[in-house]
Amino acid sequence: MKLLRDVWLVFGRYFWIFTHNPAWVVIGVVQPLLYLILFAPLLKPLASTPGFPRGGAYNVFVPGLLVQLGLFGAAGVGFSLISELRIGVIERLRVTPVSRVALLLGRALRDVLTIILQSLILILLALPFGLNINVIGVVVVLALIALIGLLTASVAYAVALWTRSENSYAPIIFTSTLPILLLSGVLLPMGLAPSWLRNIALANPLSYAVDAARAVFLGHLGDPSVVKGVAIMAVLCLISIVLGARAFGRAVA
Amino acid sequence: MAVGVVDAAIETHGLRRVFKTRKQVVEAVAGVDLTVRNGEIFGFLGPNGAGKTTTLRMLATLLPPSGGKATVAGCDLLTQPDRVRKLIGYVSQAGGSDYEVVGRYELTFQGRLYGMTREAAGRRAAELIEMLELEICADRTVKTYSGGQKRRLDIGLGLVHDPKLLFLDEPTTGLDPQSRARVWDEVRRMHDRGTTVFLTTHYLDEADALCDRIAIIDYGKIVAEGTPEELKRDVAGDVVTLTVAGPSQNALDSLKDQPYVREASIEDGTVRLYVDRGEVAMPAILRQLDAAGLQLLTIGLHRPSLDDVFLRKTGRSLREVAA
């Protein structure tokens, strides 16, 4: 009970900060729009290429875009934590009896909420372009994106707490997220890739999330890849929460 | 803990903290034994890098000790950090309020972290705003605050749950003299309400003016502990300077074997007497000179400053080190 209350309190704080900064809200809405308008049209002619999955450009592209949103939307969250470390906010929170798990979860759930809202906007905007998905599909895919966001945010916060400096945090986060993203088939399906690249991608947990999202968008909710993708993300998510909460609990010099 | 002061707010035995870097192992706190009594203002003095903040952060549950034991607010630091957290307040050097957030929100939120209801936390925030005279800025974001206002808000965050024991890390560093005086007043008011205050400082005048007792830490070890008066007396006692009509040597000869005089010398025709307690020695000196038939022209009493104490204990002046 105390944990839930603490999570709610911490979530409330970061939600308050978010909503009191209109710039973030605007960026949050504009970003998905840019992807849709500036990138998606390039895919239309590709949809007839051999190896390109069936289902039309938008049904292939939007799930990848959502996964990317989950990953990149959460990868940068450590920057705000580092500035809070510097001005003593984190230390002040850590000296109160508030749960260490809540210090992580409260703020990570705020990040997840913004990602979910962005994803919803993106899905709604893509509908007139020819995206085809039912309500259950949307719910499943949003749950998947939430897991990806929570996983990434927890890892990002842990890295921020370990490094304590933007100069170490930025290279670690960006050099690790880029190959993970490229090897997941987010931008272009891995079906187009040569076999060696496809084999490397098999080791990338995110590619299972992308497969799951694509299956949902093709209407194959019962496909084993959906369960597999969600399960892999859920397990990794739990591990990352434990790691992140420990980073909050452990003192940082 | 077998022995100890019953009424201790903090008691540590051999408290240590080691930091490992890639190249070396640094012992930031090298076995600290401290006793802070309930209700006192305790000053922790030392140059930058002496281990003040590291000790403070260990006592405030932020940093696990590498060795030793401590009791804080009656609870064991190592086994009951959660109970310690409920009883202490801690204000770091950096402060702790977020620039993007409104002061009143910060105070209310902090109260809720200690389990208060929304209403109780709001009432407590209003109380603190009044007490710390933050009315004019309470409903603005912290980035609009002056240095003194922000510091008072940060102190308020540490006071939300009315802690028994408050840690203040360098509470007046970087403040102008007026804001500094206000922080001092605040600390004295907490003291009057019965709160134990443990503060670090590298200002000797602050320690002298504010603290009931102080400890000096250098290279991770306590080199002196006591009331400011005791420490100053330990170092040199007091200094009495006097001049007489006629040869100074006569006065020196008459006084140098008196039991209360530790050391005597003549510098530029002035007799300098090192005594344990100047206020006791002065009347005796006057009587002795009278009896010897010497006419006293001037007499002065000088007390050593904490800077003398620091110099004597660490071999350097705190002012040089701090600069």
Domain match, B219 and B257 both: no
Whether the per-residue pLDDT at B1 is higher than 50: the answer is no
Which letter does DSSP use for residue A253 in this model? -
Those of residues 69-128 in A touching chain B at CB distance below 8 A are 84, 86-89, 91-98
Cβ B94–A91 below 8 Å, yes or no? yes
Q: Is residue A48 part of a domain?
A: no
Q: Is residue B31 part of a domain?
A: yes
Q: Which residues of A touch B62 (CB under 8 A)?
A: 91, 94-95, 251
Average of pLDDT values for B160-167? 94
Beta bridge partners of B224: B216
Tell me what pLDDT residue A253 has. 43
Question: How many beta-carbon contacts under 8 Å exist across A and B?
Answer: 68
Residue A29, CB-side half-sphere exposure with 13 Å CA sphere: 4
Q: State which residues form the domain around B287.
A: 238-303
Average of pLDDT values for A222-241? 94
Q: Which residues of B touch A95 (CB under 8 A)?
A: 60-62, 85, 88-90
Strands B41-45 and B213-218: parallel
Q: What angle do CA B74, B75, B81 make, to 5 degrees?
A: 145
Average of pLDDT values for A129-147? 90
Q: Are B136 and B107 in contact (CB under 8 A)?
A: no
Interface test with A, best of B98, B169, B170 (most A CBs within 10 A): B98
Closest CA to A6 of B144, B308, B294, B85: B85
CB-nearest partner of B94 from A86, A94, A97 = A86
Q: Is residue B319 part of a domain?
A: no
Q: Are B245 and B295 in contact (CB under 8 A)?
A: yes
Among the three residues B175, B200, B232, which one is the final residue of a domain in this structure? Answer: B232
Q: State which residues form the domain around A192.
A: 2-43+53-249
| Residue B19, amino acid | F
Domain match, B120 and B20 both: yes
First to last CA, chain A: 31
CB-nearest partner of A96 from B63, B85, B92 = B85
More confidently predicted of B301 and B120: B120
Tell me what pLDDT residue A212 has. 93
For residue A250, what is the nearest residue in chain B, using CA coordinates?
A: B63
CA distance linking residue A214 with residue B78, whole number of Å:
51
Domain match, B95 and B50 both: yes
Neighbours of B101 (CB within 10 A): 18
User: What total number of domains does chain A contain?
Assistant: 1
Q: Which residues of B touch A94 (CB under 8 A)?
A: 61-62
Average of pLDDT values for A86-107? 94
Q: Is residue B137 part of a domain?
A: yes
Tell me what pLDDT residue A200 has. 87
More confidently predicted of B313 and A9: A9
Phi then psi for A163, rounded to 5 degrees?
Answer: -85, -35
Q: Is residue B278 part of a domain?
A: yes
CATH code at B262?
Answer: 3.30.70.100
Q: Are B201 and B172 in contact (CB under 8 A)?
A: yes
Cβ B92–A91 below 8 Å, yes or no? yes
Query: What is the per-residue pLDDT across B244-284, written as a single tens digit (0 to 9) for each?
Result: 988 888 888 888 888 888 778 787 788 888 788 888 888 98
Neighbours of A152 (CB within 10 A): 29
| B240 — pLDDT class (breaks 50, 70, 90) | confident
Domain match, B260 and B169 both: no
Domain match, B194 and B267 both: no
Whether the per-residue pLDDT at A153 is higher than 50: the answer is yes
Query: What is the per-residue pLDDT across B168-221, written as a single tens digit (0 to 9) for each?
Result: 999 998 888 898 999 999 899 999 999 999 999 888 888 888 999 999 998 899
Tell me what pLDDT residue B323 has. 41
Neighbours of B133 (CB within 10 A): 14
CA distance linking residue B148 with residue B156, whole number of Å:
12
pTM, two decimals, is 0.83
Q: Is residue A150 part of a domain?
A: yes
Cβ A97–B101 below 8 Å, yes or no? no
Closest CA to B85 of A57, A98, A12: A98
Tell me what pLDDT residue B258 has. 87
Whether the per-residue pLDDT at A82 is higher than 90: the answer is yes
Domain match, B82 and B217 both: yes
Average pLDDT across chain B, whole number: 88
Tell me what pLDDT residue B236 has. 60
First to last CA, chain B: 40
CB-nearest partner of B64 from A16, A96, A251 = A251
Whether the per-residue pLDDT at A52 is higher than 70: the answer is no
Listing DSSP states for B285-317 in one string gives HHHHHHHTTPPEEEEEEEPPPHHHHHHHHHSS-
Cβ A251–B62 below 8 Å, yes or no? yes
| B111 — pLDDT class (breaks 50, 70, 90) | very high
